[in-house]
Structure 1
Amino acid sequence: MASHQFPDTLRGKKILLATESWGPVNGVSRTTRSLVEYLRANGAELTLVAPVFKGKQSFSTSELRLPGCPLPYNPDLTVVYPFHVDDIFNKFTPDLVYLASPASLWFQMLLQIRQLRNPPPVLLNFQTDLSAYAEIMLPAPLDRFGVWLLGTVQGFLFRTAAVQTIFYPCRDIRGYLESVRAPADRLVELGRGVDTTLFCPTRRDEQFRSMVAPNGEIILITVCRIAPEKGFEFLARVAERLVDEKVAFKLLIVGGNRNPVVEDKVQRLFDRVRDRVIFTGFLTGDALSRAYACADLFLHCSVTETFGLVVLEAMASGVPVIARDQGGPSDIIQHGRTGYLIPPRDLETFVHLIREVTGDRTRLMELAGAARRYADETTWEKINCRAARHMAEVLSHTDQESQVPRQVSRPGAIGMFFEQLRLTLALGLVYFMWLISVVPLIVHGNRFLPRAWQALQGQFQGTRPLRT
């Protein structure tokens, strides 16, 4: 089989793909949507399981939507209410289950699958480390307890016999997976791809540049969800230093948050340099690709990224990147060739490199060309085909003697009692985790935000950095 050819054994196979991130526009949802479209386009019979999102009233027949409660600090994310996997399997009996990004849906699905006598094979894509968020969202001492509890529950679930493959996006995440005792022989690195047609240097628009920077200022850009953990405290200090050093620049901040309180807190960080900063809100499609391509330099200040898809999109747009050296971007950026990786707390070097790189047009163009060439080798077609090949390999190791659709068998009466007891205890553990971590956020809404801001400030001032 050619390295990028879709495996024939997947055509016509029933794949159940469950994800918490489907409605919002973020790296996880874009990654998952690309895979879903790829599998369907190549003949796989795929049904999507995802939460109901506010404002989305109609769904396709190949979607199963589950009710839940949106999180107040990020209404695009929904905690799914308790459900029973039988209700899903009665509608769609899969040959294979793919779980993208661990959260309430992921936990419940995997806990119940492990109770089945003859479960379908499962592949996991670990794209979000919830324990990193527990560190900034929970008050002490619950933060440490939440991290421990998440690690314990996740490690337990990773060792489920039905789990054949655990995809991870970067070295930092592999380290975390190993620390919670995920089976090393099931770990497979799977990066992300980029649409090199949509994100391309040819999207550069000189008229747009003139509108953003009418006096010929350099244009800096960052693209991410407006949220406390995205490094805006650091970025605001960078902007202030550039103003103090009399650098002529405009900073485009692309992204938003459907909670206006969160957006307001972030924007107030830039009060001192407000005339240099433009908040565009959410951008997608051509508007987003134009914003990337019109910039001179991409600044990535978050240290809570498992991959950093926006870094790859910037590079595909011919825009070099300066990033804090932690998490996913550390695996993408080739230091000194496609951009620069700076120690997470080194503000001085970060600012110095912005001045140095943007002041040397020849160097900037060399970095831009190398960034684009790197992105050309990281297309969605290649990444999705790699995932599909692993799916095919998993199915090839599964019992395929029977040609009838997979039937999930149940144990006898006594066995059913004990398995039901195990399931009840396991679900009780997860519900307890929700009780101490998610429910307080829902009840108290934005009251957690001061805690998050303190954590970010401590991170900048030299306390232990957040893990992605």
Structure 2
Amino acid sequence: MRIAIFTDTFFPQVNGVAKSLKRYSDYLLQKGHDVEVFAPELEGSNPYPYVHQFMSIPFFIYPECRTALALPNTILERVQAFSPDFIHVATPLTMGVLGSHAAKKLHIPIISSYHTHFDQYLDYYKLSWISPILWRYLKWFYSSSERIFVPSQETLAHLQTKGFTNLSIWTRGVDCSLFQPSNQTVNIREKYNIKSPIILLYVGRLAPEKDLFTLQKMIEHFSEKWKESVHWLIVGDGPSFGEISSLSNENKNITMTGYLSGNELASCYAASDLFVFPSQTETFGNVVLEALASGTPAIVSNRGGVSGIVEHNKTGKICEAGVYQDFIKETEQLINHKVSRLIMGKNAREYALKQTWEGIFDELISECKRTIKQKIVTLKKNA
């Protein structure tokens, strides 16, 4: 098939959506499909031959996500020349609007994927009053889609309560050859001079919507019994980096690495005893699956897509969202029970091994084909 993908974020940007879409594109090309990606220009990136980049500015809530400034006719001409079987719209922002406009003009079916709970982000930026307007816009935007793919059952249920239909789940996979318990290519303890026996890891964007307040409270209120035994390894960057840095200046048991990737990131997962991720706004939570693949039990919130990845008391712990005392209790309990940690780590790895990208993409493309075929049959009947 010929598939055009419209997105506001793409590799080498460091986020779950960008990484997933890059893997999706790689898969399609390997399977012999023709792919063209339409994305905002990213300074310093080396675009692939199949990626069309357009001048862009930072999105005001999420600066890492770019808002493209492109002429609709330019997009229209490029899409018409490519003549895709369907257009995959992976964003409701400007690139998505441009892709949908081209699809409607050229009578090309639209398949959408929903990746981000922007409505929940608004709460963290004191913009909740925009939420009703946002939902009206999202319902209008996605109404043209033949199918809307979401990454988790939680996200599907969330959209159903808002009146969305034509929903399907497109879950995520993990590279178990990179993220594995034995991958300690980089000696993390030596590199960051970690002496404490227990390493607690956080990986993700450092921003308010990740509920860093709960993470900070955990660090501050950890019991004296365990405070000296743990070292917090915080991997990532973002607008809250400075705030967390000030906390690390007051606590010698915190290391902040900034963004990491490849073997260095995989080594952090493998070297850690527990993965702590309090975010309540995830539609999926790729980093949680990476932790499980590394044999590292995850301690997560009971809100968002992460609660569908972790099985309580089997591959980790699910805590009351925003209640740092609950996170501390469950974390300390596992610190105190090494055997439980090891069993959970083994279970986590076994679960992750079943989450293969190949199988997930096979099912995604099969459903896209079924959806497009059904659309064609309907059009013929109505002709």
Calculate the TM-score normalised by the size of structure 1.
0.75
Cα distance in 1 for partners of 2:5, 2:151 equals 18
CA distance in 2, matches of 1:169, 1:372: 20
- Tell me: CA distance 1:214–1:136, structure 2 relative to 1, closer, same or farther (3 Å): closer
Match of 2:370 among 355, 370, 393: 393
Counterpart for residue 229 of structure 1:
209
State whether residues 28 and 101 of structure 1, in contact with CA within 8 Å, keep that contact through their aligned partners in structure 2. no
Paired position in structure 1 for 2:266:
289
Deviation per CA, 1:259-289: give whole Å up to 9, x if none.
Answer: 6xx421232244432x011001110011110
Q: Which amino acid aligns with 1:229?
A: E
Cα distance in 1 for residues equivalent to 2:51 and 2:102: 20
Q: Is the 1:47–1:64 Cα contact (8 Å) retained in structure 2?
A: yes
CA deviation after TM superposition for structure 1 residue 383, in Å: 1.4
Change (3 A) 1:214 1:229: closer
| Pairing 1:84-163 to 2, within 5 Å after superposition | 84=72, 85-111=75-101, 113-114=103-104, 116=105, 119-139=107-127, 143-144=128-129, 146-160=130-144, 163=145
Report if aligned partners of 2:299, 2:327 keep a CA contact under 8 Å in 1.
yes
Distance, in Å, in 2 between the alignment partners of 1:206 and 1:55 is: 27
Does residue 181 in structure 1 map to residue 158 in structure 2? no
Matching of residue 342 in structure 1 with residue 324 in structure 2 = no
Structure 1: 5+ residue stretches without partners: 1-12, 401-468
Contact 1:168 1:191 in 2 (8 A): yes
2:222 is aligned with what amino acid? L
User: Unaligned stretches of 5+ in structure 2?
Assistant: 378-383
CA distance in 1 between partners of 2:189 and 2:243 (Å): 28
Is residue 2:237 matched to residue 1:256? yes
- 1:423 is matched with none
- Is 1:44 the counterpart of 2:33 in the alignment? yes
Q: CA deviation at 1:398?
A: 4.5
Alignment partner, residue 350 of structure 2: 373
When residues 323 and 171 of structure 1 are mapped into structure 2, their CA distance, relative to the original with a 3 A threshold, is: same
CA contact (8 A) 1:16 1:96 kept: yes
Q: 1:203 aligns with which of 173, 183, 194?
A: 183
What is the letter of the counterpart of residue 375 of structure 1?
A
Distance change >3 Å, CA 331–CA 200, structure 1 → 2: same
Residue pair 1:102, 1:130 contacting (<8 A) in 2 also: no
Preserved CA contact (<8 Å) 2:185 2:263:
no
1:67 is matched with which residue: 32, 45, 55? 55
Aligned counterpart in structure 1 of residue 7 of structure 2, from 5, 19, 25: 19
Distance in 2 (CA, whole Å) between partners of 1:232 and 1:335 is 22
Equivalent AA in structure 1 for residue 258 of structure 2: G
Q: Percent identity, aligned pairs only? A: 25
Q: Relative to structure 1, is the Cα distance of residues 379 and 121 closer, same or farther in structure 2, using a 3 angstrom cutoff?
A: same
3-state secondary structure, aligned to 1:298: strand
Q: Name which of 332, 342, 364 aligns with 2:309.
A: 332
Q: How far apart are the structure 2 equivalents of 1:235 and 1:377?
A: 30
Q: CA 1:88–1:181 in structure 2 vs 1: closer, same or farther (change >3 Å)?
A: farther
Q: Which of these two proteins has the greater Rg computed from alpha carbons?
A: 1
CA drift at 1:206? 8.8
Q: Larger RCO: Structure 1 or Structure 2 (Cα < 8 Å, ≥ 6 residues apart)?
A: 1
Q: In 2, Cα distance between the equivalents of 1:104 and 1:112?
A: 12
Task: Note the alpha carbon deviations across 1:111-143, whole angstroms, 9 max, x for none.
Answer: 4534x3x5111111101122222333354xxx3
Task: Determine the C-alpha separation between the residues in 2 that align with 1:47 and 1:398.
Answer: 22
Amino acid across the alignment from 2:178: L
Q: CA deviation at 1:21?
A: 1.3
Residue 33 (structure 1) aligned with residue 17 (structure 2): no
Task: Tell me the equivalent position of 2:381.
Answer: none
User: What does residue 330 of structure 2 align with?
Assistant: 353
Q: Is the 8 A contact 2:150 2:168 kept in 1?
A: yes
Q: For this pair of structures, how many residues does the alignment match? A: 373
Contact kept in structure 2, 1:210 and 1:216, CA below 8 Å: no
Residues 168/74 of structure 1: CA separation in 2 closer, same or farther (3 Å cut)? closer
- Say whether the 8 Å CA contact 1:316–1:371 is kept in structure 2: yes
Q: 2:79, 2:102 within 8 Å by CA — same for their partners in 1?
A: no
Q: 1:231 to 1:245 in 2, by over 3 A?
A: farther
CA drift of 1:244 comes to 3.4
- Give me the whole-angstrom Cα distance separating, in 1, the residues matched to 2:59 and 2:376: 41
My pick for the range that moved more, 164-173 or 33-42, is: 164-173
CA 358–65 in structure 1, closer or farther in 2 if over 3 Å, else same:
same
- What amino acid maps onto 2:293 in structure 1? A
What is the distance in 2 between the residues matched to 1:91 and 1:244?
A: 65
Separation in 2 of the partners of 1:151 and 1:120? 25
Residue among 302, 306, 312 paired with 2:289: 312
- What does the per-residue CA deviation read over 1:350-393, in whole Å, with 9 as the maximum and x for residues that have no partner? 11221121221211110000000000111111211111111221
Task: Quickly say closer, same or farther: Cα 1:96–1:269, change in 2 above 3 A.
Answer: same
Q: Tell me: CA distance 1:129–1:214, structure 2 relative to 1, closer, same or farther (3 Å).
A: closer
Tell me, in whole angstroms, the C-alpha distance in 2 between the residues paired with 1:297 and 1:249: 10
